[in-house]
A and B are shown apart, each in its own frame.
Chain A
Amino acid sequence: MGQKILAYLEERVRIRALMSFLLDEPIPGGSRWAYIPGSMVLFVLILQFVTGMMLAFYYGGTPDHAWDSVNYIDHLTYRGFPVGRLIRGIHFWGSSIMVIAVGLHLLQVFLWGAYKRPREIMWLIGTVLFALTMIAAFSGYLLPWDERAYWGTIVGTNMIGLVPVVGEILKAAIRGGVGLGALTLSHFFTIHTMILPTLFILFVILHMVIFRRVGPAGPFSGSPEQNEATKDTFYPRQVLMDSFGMLGVFILILVLALFRPPGLESVANPSNAAYSPTPAWYFDWIFQLLKMVRPEIVGVVGLPVLIGIVLVFLPFIDKKPVRSPFRRPISVLSTLFILGAMLILSLMAEHGYKKLVDVDRASMQRGQVVFNHSGCLGCHAVFGKGGKIGPDLSEEGLVGHPLSWLEVQFVNSKANFPDSIMPNFTFLTKQQQHDLAMYLSSLGRMGWPDPTKAQP
């Protein structure tokens, strides 16, 4: 059967020759694990395409539906298995892993000196793909239309506005107006799901075509004869290494998606001025620079632009044929130094963020009972129900109060606010205080109603 199909295709599309073209690419110096990052990027990109299409199945790209539809996806189950949460989790973590994979690929090509003549154009296409990856990550951030998405994009687009001369007009064009609204969301959705995928496909094809024209660079050491003698074809050894790499990446993404599902904060609330947005981790270093460097323009626009310029012009500045990283100490060390600096900046930024409480679901549910039975709703409102004397607690979980602060607040609120008129709920047991604090920390972050269950 298989042979027959093969023979049929052989006669019509010359499948053997085609497969041979695809798989028998010679790799000078043989297959190596070091060559797998490029394939990893392609794999994660395909994963993003597939899961992204799935998400678009159920997504509603307007401010009055986006959040509801994402919440709906989060609650979709099939035979009790949370398929929606899984698909969204893969897409969410896939974007982070994609950024990492692109970074590793870039670093490997840099260290191997593989961007040098005759591979300058391939490198240029690669930097375009790198930029597309970052734009994809940024534009996807807004789509769930929750507090994090909204305020993160406010800050992100404001940074674009800092660019001299064209900044404001650029920002308005991207937002589709002065503020963030329905047009911003549809702009971002279109960029994320139509423009970027098209460009991705185009540039990946270009990247691959050029790759096949010039061939792999091979190891940076060893004579051409040696590399010729130890040469290997792409299939099967390198393909096997690549597939093991993909399996590893896939398992990593699955584990993250299952055990650290992306949350959904409460729906974007433009009047919540107290919200302090944090960027996705790969923009942490810019966030930190923003705090440290004055004027902001230097950190925000200057540095990324500088990095972009260096990336683009690298193969044209660095024309010496020597490829070994050990014989290019200055450029390699300065790159590692910059990477180290970015890492330190990111760690500083992470350290500076308010840690939101890690919510324990069982404790949270007990706390909800305590909350409903202790008279809290007499003064405080939650999701539109309750009194107006105390502050609205619907988004208390996003404020970032630690558990200890909350526990004190229940029994002795004057300790936190000297002018507080809140009565002291000293009758609460230690356990109840803890559960109540857990529940309050979850408000605005989770526990949304399940739209797949019909409401009366």
Chain B
Amino acid sequence: MREEVTYRVGIPVMDLRGETLGRMEKVLFSASLHHVTGIVVRSLESLRIIDLDRVNSVTASEIRTSLTESDWHASPIFDPSQYEEVPPWFFPPGYRIEMGALMTIKPLDVRLGGEAGALSRRAFMGRSVGIVAAAIGLTLLVPIGGYIMAAATTPVTDTWRDLGVKLLDLPVDEPVQKAFRAVAVSGWMRVPEERSVWLIRHTGESDRWSRSADQTKNIDSPLERRNSDPRLTVLSPICPHLGCAPQWHNGQKLFICPCHHSVYELNGKRVSGPAPRPMDQLPVRIGPDGSISVIYEQFAIGIAAKVRLA
């Protein structure tokens, strides 16, 4: 007979004649033999060990033994100091404690009552706990997700920055790097910052350089399309490959990025190198007096599309 029996500590232990000897207190488990060797029974005056061989049957409500009155009094006294108390999880992996040929006891269930109804109630309560925990967790995690994303998704506001140079002061078809002061915003902090852009003046529509590569490839956003001028191309100083700063080489008439040698023409067109797209053209406005203002946009690097960063 190998079946799992669940029973409570504290159920009565009977002798041969069906008289109660005491109540089940502990299961003795031999670590070396890997099975239960006996049970400890508490009577009014003592704690005694009953050998497993003397156990006839175990049910959810009682344990019957083949002990007589005098056998009981001859049973060894249980001395707790000679045993080590271990929690259920101490038992070896896949622990099923063999109680001789009698049955299998799962120590886990030693404390559970034997009623079948208790199990479904238990499952129901378990589900309820799960639902409550999920409700609390979700209600907390959703705002936290929003909280973390809030700063990341705060929209940037476009500000036109006057560069302080006049169009007519610039050389034709030769890039000029123009630095200007901007404000970097991070959370509650506003820090003044030095930035720069490339300015390339053209003679007008007829100038072969007046159309930027971004325009030719038609990857500009409406903002950039609305604010462009055939007399001036403004290029971002940031290399679309991995963010270094391409430099103008007057001898070759090319922009060359020092990091991985992406090479661009005057209108930003990529000639060679690993860059995935042309140099980024920025929105520009030219005032009646020739003053130049730009919006300093930043774009995702490393991809072919021109995607503005929030």
Contact = CB atoms under 8 A, between A and B. Distances in A.
Interface string B114-155: 000000001001101100110110011001101111110110
Given A16-B108, A26-B111, A240-B128, A21 B87 contact: yes
A87 B132 contact: no
Interface string A227-246: 01101010111011001101
B150 A83 contact: yes
A83 B147 contact: yes
A344 interface: no
B101 interface: no
A231 B187 contact: no
Interface stretch (B14-22, B89-97, B243-251): B89-97
Given A11-B93, A20-B108, A83-B143, A451 B188 contact: yes
Interface in B170-191: 185, 187-190
B122 A236 contact: yes
A387 B88 CA distance: 79
B147 A244 contact: no
Interface in B79-119: 87-91, 93-95, 108, 111-112
Contact of A250 (B136, B187, B188): B136
A347 interface: no
Given A233-B111, A237-B125, A246-B132, A71 B188 contact: yes
A50 interface: yes
A10 B147 CA distance: 37
A89 to B, nearest CB: 10
A239 B95 CA distance: 26
Contacts of B70: none
A101 to B, nearest CB: 15
Interface in A3-58: 10-11, 14, 16-18, 20-21, 24, 26, 47, 50, 54, 57-58
Contacts of B89: 14, 17-18, 20-21
B33 interface: no
A247 B91 contact: no
B132 A84 contact: no
A247 B135 CA distance: 8
Interface string B28-64: 0000000000000000000000000000000000000
Interface string A395-431: 0000000000000000000000000000000000000
B120 to A, nearest CB: 11
A229 B111 CA distance: 11
A268 B149 CA distance: 30
Contact of A21 (B88, B93, B133, B187): B88
A72 interface: yes
A236 B187 contact: no
Interface in A54-97: 54, 57-58, 60, 65, 68-69, 71-72, 76-79, 81, 83-84, 86-87
B88 A17 contact: yes
Contact of A454 (B94, B95, B133, B185): B185
A254 B139 contact: yes
A14 B190 CA distance: 54
Given A17-B89, A21-B89, A86 B189 contact: no
A233 B93 contact: no
B51 to A, nearest CB: 25
A75 B90 CA distance: 53
Residues of A contacting B: mostly = helix
B159 interface: yes
A17 B132 contact: no
A243 B129 CA distance: 6
Contact of B144 (A50, A72, A77, A455): A50
A20 B88 contact: yes
B230 interface: no
B156 interface: yes
A451 B154 CA distance: 11
B157 interface: yes
B16 to A, nearest CB: 25
B143 A87 contact: yes
Given A14-B93, A50-B144, A233-B111, A244 B132 contact: yes
A58 to B, nearest CB: 6
Contacts of A247: 132, 135-136
B133 A243 contact: yes
A246 B126 CA distance: 15
B143 A233 contact: no
Interface in A207-261: 228-229, 231, 233, 235-237, 239-240, 243-244, 246-247, 250, 254
A250 B139 contact: yes
A77 B129 contact: no
A26 B87 CA distance: 12
Contacts of B147: 54, 57, 76, 78, 83-84, 86-87
A31 B108 CA distance: 19
Given A17-B91, A246-B136, A84 B125 contact: no
A184 B221 CA distance: 50
Contacts of B146: 78-79, 81, 83
Contacts of A240: 125, 128-129, 132
Nearest to A88: B147
B143 A57 contact: no
A58 B187 CA distance: 8
B10 interface: yes
A65 B144 contact: no
Contacts of A235: 126
Contact of A87 (B90, B129, B144, B154): B144
6 contacts: A17-B91, A24-B108, A26-B111, A68-B189, A87-B143, A239-B129
Given A47-B140, A65-B188, A236-B126, 6 more contacts: A10-B93, A16-B108, A78-B153, A87-B143, A235-B126, A247-B132
Interface of A: 10-11, 14, 16-18, 20-21, 24, 26, 47, 50, 54, 57-58, 60, 65, 68-69, 71-72, 76-79, 81, 83-84, 86-87, 228-229, 231, 233, 235-237, 239-240, 243-244, 246-247, 250, 254, 451-456
**Can you list the 9 inter-chain pairs with the closest CB atoms, starting with the nearest?**
A17-B89, A78-B146, A236-B125, A454-B157, A72-B188, A68-B188, A83-B147, A243-B132, A83-B146
